[in-house]
Amino acid sequence: MKIPPVKGTRDFYPPDMARRNWIIDGWKKVSVRNGFEEYDGPIFEYLKMFQIKSGDEIVEQLFSLKDRGGRELAIRPEITPTLARMVNQQINSLARPIKWFSVPRLCRAERPQKGRLREFFQWNIDIIGVDDVLADAEVIFTACDYLQEVGLTPDDVMVKISSREMLAALLQTAGIAKSELEPLYTVLDKRSKVAAEAFEEMLAEQVGDKDKRDKIIDLMAVESLEQIGDCLQLSEKAEESVDELKRLFELVEIMGIADFCVFDIGIVRGLAYYTGIVYEIYDRESGLRAIGGGGRYDDLLKQFGGPAIPATGFGIGDCVLAILLEEKGLLDKQLSSPQPDYFVAFTDKQFFQKAIELTAKLRTKGFAANFDYKSANLSKQLKQASAQNVKKCVIIGSEFENNELVIKDMTTGKQELVDYDEFLAQCIELK
């Protein structure tokens, strides 16, 4: 009986694994140079943790289970609640600002489609303890730093930025009650993801009054920060949020990433815990789903039983990113295949055991070394060595009677006769 892989999951054969590692190594490298430290948590948590503030959509997508004691658990669909829990747990001993990153494996029971699977990896960057838009600019910079690191330019990708705080103030001016905001965000988040009629239907379900609906539709058509005042009277709160956004755009200019950044009032975010600046990263041409997204979530730690500490961060998944990199020819080009240091070959079966012994010795000295399992003839072994792209071949043959080996440099083809013990001693020195 053949058992297929579970829908929405991936098998990582070695070439796929090399790609995955290349993406993740880049995430880690960029995190570290931007001053972030790595953390991780368990892959499952209590179910209720994701029900507190992540929002209905993610709760519907949970893979949940009961442990033997009947406790309700869920596989993590995101790591932000875990981060909030972990930070709260040690809040008094952690030096602030907390700048942490993580690369969790996550599961969401989504309908699998291009760029969306049921299991994926997600790069998370978060700054906790900074109540300044500079922290938002820094996380956006870190995302752009990675995008540039892998060869993507402002012609390929853009960071669409807005503010939930601003939107809340504007919607309240348009007559929406505070208590109606959260379900409305879910509808507004769908605006660019569904057809116009479907969006209007969803909006009508949420907002009965046509006058209010028209105001919302006009507001969502605004294309620049300057235009907002023409559409609705700005309350003090709305003005403060507009000023904060303007400062963010100044900061990204100073940081040299302004070409990546655009204002887009339609960015609302699907998750419920965002409170201020929000943004999503998209490709400019292919119309793929979001590459990543994030924003400020100043209330989440408090909602998880801790003190009120401001926080901001983002998540970038590996799926859409890999599709885009592949489309742009930026993925395979950068992957170099591993190059073993040695291939230990032998001219005759009588030296087979010696070859195994020497390979083992080289490996324990820290070299990547291989040998042939089949005791094939020398030319076949050398072919294998070339196919494996090894740097040098060690050949054990009749010279071994005098405790000598032939070393062949596979790049230059040059061969030299060396003493076995001296060769090993030299290897130790080299490492």
List C-alpha distances in Å: 301 to 112, 164, 273, 401. 32, 18, 10, 72
86 Cβ partners below 8 Å, 6+ apart?
Answer: 39, 41
**Which tokens is 19 given?**
């790609």
Shortest approach of ligand HAM to residue 259 CB, angstroms? 21
Nearer to ligand HAM, 276 or 346 (CB): 276
Shortest approach of ligand HAM to residue 108 CB, angstroms? 4
Nearer to ligand HAM, 126 or 341 (CB): 126
Shortest approach of ligand HAM to residue 233 CB, angstroms? 32
Shortest approach of ligand HAM to residue 46 CB, angstroms? 17
Shortest approach of ligand HAM to residue 130 CB, angstroms? 14
Shortest approach of ligand HAM to residue 333 CB, angstroms? 22
Pairing between β-strand 98-102 and β-strand 37-38 as defined by DSSP bridges: parallel
Nearer to ligand HAM, 135 or 410 (CB): 135
Query: What value, to the nearest 5°, has the Cα angle with vertex 106 and ends 100 and 110?
Result: 135
Shortest approach of ligand HAM to residue 313 CB, angstroms? 3
Whether 306 contacts 84, CB under 8 Å: yes
Nearer to ligand HAM, 64 or 224 (CB): 64
Nearer to ligand HAM, 107 or 170 (CB): 107
Maximum Cα interatomic distance, the chain, rounded to a whole number of Å: 97
Nearer to ligand HAM, 156 or 341 (CB): 156
Shortest approach of ligand HAM to residue 155 CB, angstroms? 20
Shortest approach of ligand HAM to residue 269 CB, angstroms? 7
Q: How far apart are CA 159 and CA 190, in angstroms?
A: 18
Nearer to ligand HAM, 144 or 405 (CB): 144
Nearer to ligand HAM, 55 or 228 (CB): 55
- Burial class of residue 211, CB neighbours in 10 A (0-12, 13-18, 19+): exposed
Q: How far apart are CA 55 and CA 327, in angstroms?
A: 33
- Burial class of residue 148, CB neighbours in 10 A (0-12, 13-18, 19+): middle
Q: How far apart are CA 242 and CA 162, in angstroms?
A: 9
Nearer to ligand HAM, 323 or 390 (CB): 323
Q: How far apart are CA 200 and CA 44, in angstroms?
A: 38
Shortest approach of ligand HAM to residue 182 CB, angstroms? 16
Positions that interact with ligand HAM (CB under 6 A): 78, 80, 108, 110, 116-117, 120, 122, 124, 126, 271, 290-294, 313-317, 319-320
Pairing between β-strand 392-396 and β-strand 342-346 as defined by DSSP bridges: parallel
Beta-carbon neighbour count of residue 206 at 10 Å? 17
Q: How far apart are CA 106 and CA 10, in angstroms?
A: 13
Q: How far apart are CA 158 and CA 156, in angstroms?
A: 7
Nearer to ligand HAM, 244 or 283 (CB): 283
